[in-house]
Structure 1
Amino acid sequence: MNSLAYDKSIELLRKVATPQGFLASAENTSNYKRVWARDGVICGLAALASGDEELINAFKETLETLAKNQHPVGTIPSNVLINEVGTEVSYGGLAGRVDAVTWFIIGVCQYAFYKCDVSFVSSHNSQIEKCLALLDSWEFNNKHLVYVPLSGNWADEYITDGYVLYDQLLRIWALKCYNYFVKSDVITEKIIQITKQIEINFMPHTEGEKYHERAYNEVDFQDFMPCSFSPSGYKTQFDAFANSLVALLNIGSTVFQKKIINHSVSLAKETRLGLLPAFWPPILETDEHWNLLKNNCKYEFRNYPYEFHNGGSWPMVNGFFGLALLAKAEEKKAALILENINEANAKLEFSFYENFNSKTNEPNGVSNCAWSAAAAVLLHQSLYNNFKILV
């Protein structure tokens, strides 16, 4: 199964590789026939893992497309459409996409790391420095955590806003990647300060001045970091992507990271697919945040309980969970997650659906989704061919 699934995954990535970069899907769905920042970089990581020069070149072109269309203030496009009519650039829908900025920095540095090409980072220094200045300004209070609007990242129809854990972690990863090349004492100190604030505000029983002391004291912390907090309080759902990054980036104590891994493994076992839901538990119609969730969609509502961001299982997210398991020397558990990703991707004759209902196993979203294939390739090569990303 692994060999066939891997070959099918590479086949899909080749289908979405264009002269301008990776498209989000091979389906003729207008919003997905674009070069996306986060999708493109995740596909790019898979390209590097594969060693396939055609795919690696598509990654480079993805990064160049994003760089050429950076906004003067520093914003990286959420997505870019290039066709015979011209170029159409989007920096976000209902809100701007904070994670496009960090994924771009990560992408440039990962490509340069793989190619052993410092000049690739140097040639994008001005774009990266603009990105870093923009992230500083998005702190607003200059206290080291970026403030993210509702709909401001990959979970663009979910309820997270304010100090969103996922975005803080991506910023740390981006800074670490860039600092691998530039060796800046200022960036080193910034990484320390952001990490400190994450541990103070997202972990239980930590010393230090909290952003929101009253709200922090009301949280019943579990064996993971909550997904976000804002002036209105904490949202305590488990964010699988963010907590995988916590483990991958070694944030917090070893004991707490082990708790995250154990919680994640147990949760994945509870689903019929054997895959982590993106966020858990699902928000139901009777829950406090249902109206916030229901109204946060530009077109049709997709976040029914156990689907999409609201408890749905995404192969892409589970690819990063698998990398987190490998980082903690849990090879057998990572291999099981890969097997389950491949089984999900193989449904309906390898349709590579975007996500699945974690209760019924029914597919949701767009088929032939590129980053569903990318997750399989990235985890496969990391597990069986010792591919290493820069962290």
Structure 2
Amino acid sequence: MSEAYKKSIDLLFKCSSSEGFLASAQDISNYKRVWARDGVICGLAALASQDEELISTFKKTLETLSNHQHEVGTVPSNVGFQNNSVDVSYGGLAGRVDAVTWYIIGICQYAYNQSKPEFVEKYKTNINKCISLLDAWEFNNKHLLYVPLSGNWADEYITDGYVLYDQLLRVWALKSYNYFKKSEELSNKIEKIISQIEANFFPDSEEEKFHERAYNEVKFDRYLPCSFSPSGYRTQFDAFANSLALLLNIGDSAFQEKQIEYAFDLASSTKLGLLPAFWPPIFQTDEEWSLLKNNCKYEFRNFPNEFHNGGSWSMVNGFFGLALYNKHKIQKADFILERINLTNEIEAFSFYENFNTKTREPNGVKYCAWSGAATILLHQTRFNDFKILV
């Protein structure tokens, strides 16, 4: 067992609380909260670890989110507990669409791994509220979610509208739930969502598009564009989204090989050996800079090669590694795992949130739980045959 793995397990214990996983072991108010997205990703790592105490913390995370679900179905972005008071947030400048999908994924992954289908049954009403809300967020009833700016994990980036990452999380969530429900109606919905993803995000599609004119202007590369809206496509490479597409086996095998080739070549070309979250970076001379620089609630962090704007995150690369292992690209996945471990190790295993892709300088918060989760997920997939439900 590697030192990186042991340190990652230790970090998850330090980020455990009586209410669930906290985002960081650092004493920073916004990170000492139970987050839907972070909590489920850490929960997947807990399941992978097979540690009963960490798995119990994951269960508490899911219970906290369930107990504070809004009556319309919205799942908290995060929940804070301090001085006998509870502070529930459903998002900052905009609501968080991915809190809903990560929640469904979390409930189902826990039930699958622990062989407890009754856990899904217990929260069936909560999940059905989530599914109805996701349907409403299509707005036009054409099977793709419409996501506001700041509406997901890349909350200070420029993606909005039909964001690929959110469509893929919805597919994963519905497939996970349908593993237990086995509903023909749900199966048909999943097929329709995937068909729309393939029609609107893949090159050379002959199916009817949402935005035909904009689609025809896109110069497709060996990866899927990150989003489109009525104003057109954003063609940056989204590492998280493309990793999810591979993990969920969406698209034909020939294009998936191109995705893997592009992503691995990009990772290998950087000093960290990791994929940047979005690529290429947006610079002050680019027309998108104005939108980027104004999309922050507190301080601006999206300098070129940092944060979402071309910064590298261990957590994101964890999902790329999972996709590679799932595709039996063992050597490539081992490379990503090694690079995640080396990155988490910087400054005596400080597990930074993200890094400047150009300089390797750390950014964001130290002792970030999901940075350690990436190591655990990949280590256990590689050496203990851990399987997630996809």
Same fold, TM-score > 0.5, yes or no = yes
CA distance in 1, matches of 2:114, 2:53: 14
Aligned to 2:7: 8
Q: What's the offset of the Cα at 1:201?
A: 0.2
Q: Deviations over 1:33-79 (max 9, x none)?
A: 00000000000000000000110000000000000000000000000
Residues 1:283 and 2:282 aligned together: yes
Q: Which runs of 4+ in 1 moved over 6 A?
A: none
Structure 2 residue identity aligned to 1:295: N
Q: What's the offset of the Cα at 1:214?
A: 0.5
Aligned to 2:363: 364
Structure 2 residue identity aligned to 1:30: S
Aligned to 1:179: 178
CA distance in 1, matches of 2:287, 2:122: 48
Q: What's the offset of the Cα at 1:208?
A: 1.1
Q: What's the offset of the Cα at 1:83?
A: 2.1
Structure 1 residue identity aligned to 2:41: I
Percent identical among aligned pairs is 69
Q: What's the offset of the Cα at 1:123?
A: 0.2
Structure 1 residue identity aligned to 2:57: A
CA distance in 1, matches of 2:383, 2:287: 44
State the superposition RMSD in angstroms.
Answer: 0.5
Residues 1:75 and 2:74 aligned together: yes
Residues 1:126 and 2:122 aligned together: no
CA distance in 2, matches of 1:84, 1:50: 32
Look up the SS of the partner of 2:2 in the other structure: helix
Look up the SS of the partner of 1:382 in the other structure: helix
CA distance in 2, matches of 1:336, 1:384: 14
Residues 315-354 of structure 1 aligned to structure 2 (within 5 Å): 315-354=314-353
Structure 1 residue identity aligned to 2:15: V
CA distance in 1, matches of 2:304, 2:82: 37
Q: Deviations over 1:86-106 (max 9, x none)?
A: 100000000000000000000
Aligned to 1:111: 110
Aligned to 2:44: 45
CA distance in 2, matches of 1:119, 1:301: 45
CA distance in 2, matches of 1:171, 1:218: 27
CA distance in 1, matches of 2:232, 2:332: 35
Residues 157-306 of structure 1 aligned to structure 2 (within 5 Å): 157-306=156-305
CA distance in 1, matches of 2:92, 2:102: 18
CA distance in 2, matches of 1:329, 1:342: 20
Q: What's the offset of the Cα at 1:327?
A: 1.1
Aligned to 2:94: 95
CA distance in 1, matches of 2:302, 2:98: 21
Task: List gaps (5 residues or longer) in structure 2.
Answer: none
Look up the SS of the partner of 1:238 in the other structure: strand
Task: List gaps (5 residues or longer) in structure 1.
Answer: none
Q: What's the offset of the Cα at 1:109?
A: 0.2
Q: Deviations over 1:348-375 (max 9, x none)?
A: 0000000000000000000000000001
Q: What's the offset of the Cα at 1:85?
A: 3.3
Q: Deviations over 1:304-351 (max 9, x none)?
A: 000000000000000000001011110111111000000000000000
Residues 1:64 and 2:71 aligned together: no
Structure 2 residue identity aligned to 1:315: S
CA distance in 1, matches of 2:222, 2:205: 14
Moved more, 76-85 or 346-355: 76-85
CA distance in 1, matches of 2:42, 2:69: 20
Q: What's the offset of the Cα at 1:84?
A: 2.2
Q: What's the offset of the Cα at 1:266?
A: 0.2
Look up the SS of the partner of 1:343 in the other structure: helix
CA distance in 1, matches of 2:156, 2:300: 9
Q: Under a length normalisation based on structure 2, what TM-score does the superposition of the two structures give? A: 1.00
Q: Under a length normalisation based on structure 1, what TM-score does the superposition of the two structures give? A: 0.99
Aligned to 1:22: 21
Aligned to 2:388: 389
Structure 2 residue identity aligned to 1:260: Q
Look up the SS of the partner of 1:82 in the other structure: strand
Aligned to 1:54: 53
CA distance in 1, matches of 2:227, 2:287: 15
Look up the SS of the partner of 2:227 in the other structure: strand
CA distance in 2, matches of 1:302, 1:83: 27
CA distance in 2, matches of 1:371, 1:309: 16
Structure 2 residue identity aligned to 1:325: L
